[in-house]
Structure 1
Amino acid sequence: MVNLARVSTTLAKHSKQAYHIGGQREYDGFMAHVSGRANVAQQQRAHEQFTEFGLALSKLRGQLYDGAGNMAGRLNGTAAVICRNHPKDIYDHCLSHALNLAIVSCLNVQQVKNMWCVLKEVGLFVSNSPKQQSALEVQIDTLPFVSCNRRKLVDLCRTRWMARRSALVAFADLYVPVVASLEEVSQGRHWSPDSAGAAFTLLFSITQFCFICAFCISKQVPEYVHGLTTPLQKTNKDICNAYQEVKTLTETLHRVREDIDIYHGQ
């Protein structure tokens, strides 16, 4: 297996219309890693690729990377190397990645970590076996009060915390069929002892109050943020409206924290 670092290149053509974020973006391919010191090599490759586009690095006015040392290192990262030659090309931490890190830090609670581990194990238990997936689908078709159209659980994203929202929503929709299918498997009829034992352990875990509480809270957090991050990714977003939406979200979260008993009592 060859481990190669590749950086995607996207050109943004900004409109002259005031107060709008972004503009037309066009994907232009990958900037493959070359041999040598990673930071210098990336800077040289960037210079070559921008030359191919008919652009000059001296006209760049911003760099956005995640917090990896080879890209964002203060002394010898790619951003620092480029800034030494082009001081106006200011580096900033990728805002999407920063939001992801902030949410992870806010939910750095052991009970929440345990919930994620259990949720991951349930997803793997069902998805890795066609027989267990079939058992879940039987419960979805049999139970009269399951109204969603979902047939499968969603895998947890390993890197983007906000992308886990889909997994949380899917698990919430299929919670009752999942419990019913695990109960059936744990009884051991027509199932191997290993499957029955694993199903019993998972069933015990997802029916505990601590798991349910951590799950409900974790599911609610991205519901607030998702309503903001999705519109902000649009290229024609008005910056004044975006600022107002951020302010509204902040005020809403403050009200939830101040009236937490009322919030959970609803």
Structure 2
Amino acid sequence: MEKPIERLIEFIECEEITGMAICESIISCMNAVGLDPSYCRSQTMDGAGNMAGKHSGCASRFKNQYPLAVYHYCSCHDLNLAISKSCSLKEVQICLDTLKKLGIFFKYSPKRTRRLEKAFDEVNEERTENKIDRKKFKVFSETRWVEKHNTLQTFQDMYKPILLCLEAISLRERNWDSKAVVEANGLLAKLSDPQFIASFQTIRNFFGYMSRLSKKLQGSTLDVLEGYRMVAHVREVISGLRLNNEEYDSVYERMEEMARLADGAMTVPRQCLRQTERSNVPASSAKEYFKRNTYIPYLDSLIQQLDLRFSTLAQQSAQALCLVPSNLSRLNQEVLHAIEASFGPDMPDRSSFPQELNLWKQIWSRQTDPPDTLSGTLLDDRTCRTMFPNVTKVIHLLLLTSVTSSSVERANSSLRFIKSYLRTTMGGEPFNALMLLFIHRDIQVDISKIIDIFVSRNPRRMLLENPTGD
């Protein structure tokens, strides 16, 4: 029983994109390449309606025909949704919308971009060290939250030049048009506002935790247990920050530093007790106000979203966790019944599974260095597949449980390297062959065998090996 691997089979042209049509195309493709769909045990997709719909989606239709193919939502997409929903706080939404408008302000105007480059030079002339490299401020990505974290970091580095550029435009330097002046005035007021600064530094701080997790969840070799451990670890660290005053102190210091760059200070906005739409949080200082009004509400929302969206992953991992030798002490009757109900149809000898588990616990209780991962357990020399056929089968199936669909999307992103505008008509077998060679570079290709096949198919062409006679 080898370690599971992930391979792209082929790209299929879909004339229809309904859940039924996509499901039929997948089944036809699997049958064509000799894969029996009844052996499928896991399917992972994003949340598109035609793919993950509960009744007519591709995943549900496939599961109706093959009940053992359990659908798992992509963990990386789940994390993106958790971050997105946690940004529903009004102050945070205004901050992100302002940054989006700022990106659009510079994107479609070379004249504004050149003025921003001049602002970089003006700032660097005043500094003897820590000079700022010229960068372009990009528009926020709507779906890739890792890119948003990079955009936030870029904005932090460019904050002073951006302020100088907007100030110059708002003062009608070089006869700017009225539209640019009005937009620059509005953006300058927003970027200098203490509430914007507090929201920006808050989300930038927590996006730093999420960006690393998002990159890790995009790995193709990730198993469900490792994925849960990473999510649980990040969630535990973030939860601990709620009572960690040192973390907020460092965030507030960055707020004050940013406010000084805008020639201002962190002040409490005017409060009105009769207006319910205004944030009227009682506080004795600006530091306490922004902690209660922005920092803590956003932190609580993020923790809530992580708990809500990764509860299913935790349930799947609970089964895996209890079979790993280092955690066998957590195995109880409830977990035993859950494992047997989920994986019973695939067990070689289901009737002896309880007895086999007792032997499994006994043999590892004598070891001083039991493995603590699914793959480590399966590849350990002390794991006898003849002695424990049911346990090794369950662990193997747990390794097949998909955590992310990002590797599939990376394959889609590779299309632009093969199907360029010079090859727009290429399709069918040549296209799929080139894509497989481009993506699976670890597969060894026998060049001599390819030449032999070409010769056998085109014997007449080989007669022109040396047409000049030299």
The question of a shared fold, defined as TM-score above 0.5 by the shorter chain, is answered with yes
1:105: how far off? 1.5
Secondary structure at the counterpart of residue 230 of structure 1: helix
Q: Which amino acid aligns with 1:204?
A: A
Find 2:96's aligned residue among 110, 116, 127.
116
Match of 2:210 in 1: 225
- The number of aligned residues is 245
Secondary structure at the counterpart of residue 72 of structure 2: strand
Find 2:161's aligned residue among 157, 172, 177.
177
Match of 1:74 in 2: 54
2:76–2:218 CA contact under 8 A, matched in 1? no
1:111: how far off? 0.8
Q: Which amino acid aligns with 1:40?
A: M
Q: Deviations over 1:169-215 (max 9, x none)?
A: 11111111111100011111221111111111111111101111111
Secondary structure at the counterpart of residue 44 of structure 2: strand
Match of 2:371 in 1: none
**What TM-score, normalized to structure 1?**
0.83
Q: 2:224, 2:50 → 1: CA distance?
A: 32
Kindly indicate which of the two structures has a greater share of residues assigned to strand.
Answer: 1
Q: Which amino acid aligns with 2:203?
A: S
Structure with the larger RCO, 1 or 2 (CA within 8 Å, 6+ apart): 2
Match of 1:209 in 2: 194
Going from structure 1 to structure 2, the CA distance change for 1:79 and 1:236 (only over 3 Å counts) comes to: closer
**What TM-score, normalized to structure 2?**
0.49
Seq. identity, % = 27
Q: Deviations over 1:61-93 (max 9, x none)?
A: 111122222211212211111111101111111
1:34–1:42 CA contact under 8 A, matched in 2? no
1:236: how far off? 4.5
Secondary structure at the counterpart of residue 19 of structure 2: helix
Q: Deviations over 1:144-170 (max 9, x none)?
A: 246343420122111233331111111
1:231: how far off? 3.1
Secondary structure at the counterpart of residue 12 of structure 2: strand
Q: 2:31, 2:144 → 1: CA distance?
A: 33
Say yes or no: does 1:151 pair with 2:132. no
Structure 2 alignment gaps of length 5 or more: 251-470
1:162–1:226 CA contact under 8 A, matched in 2? yes
In angstroms, what is the RMSD of aligned CA positions? Answer: 2.3
2:51–2:59 CA contact under 8 A, matched in 1? yes
Going from structure 1 to structure 2, the CA distance change for 1:188 and 1:27 (only over 3 Å counts) comes to: farther
Q: 1:91, 1:251 → 2: CA distance?
A: 27
Going from structure 1 to structure 2, the CA distance change for 1:78 and 1:158 (only over 3 Å counts) comes to: same
Kindly indicate which of the two structures has a greater share of residues assigned to helix.
Answer: 2
Going from structure 1 to structure 2, the CA distance change for 1:59 and 1:238 (only over 3 Å counts) comes to: closer
Q: Which amino acid aligns with 1:99?
A: L
1:83–1:90 CA contact under 8 A, matched in 2? yes
Secondary structure at the counterpart of residue 116 of structure 2: helix
Secondary structure at the counterpart of residue 92 of structure 1: strand
Larger C-alpha radius of gyration, 1 or 2? 2
1:150–1:170 CA contact under 8 A, matched in 2? no
1:16: how far off? 3.0
Find 1:51's aligned residue among 20, 25, 31.
31
Q: Deviations over 1:77-115 (max 9, x none)?
A: 111111111011111111111111111122210111111
Q: 1:107, 1:16 → 2: CA distance?
A: 43
Q: Which amino acid aligns with 2:249?
A: G
Q: Deviations over 1:116-161 (max 9, x none)?
A: 1110111111111001001111111221246343420122111233
Q: Deviations over 1:1-51 (max 9, x none)?
A: xxxxxxxxxxxxxx934xxxx74x44455434324x812111111112223
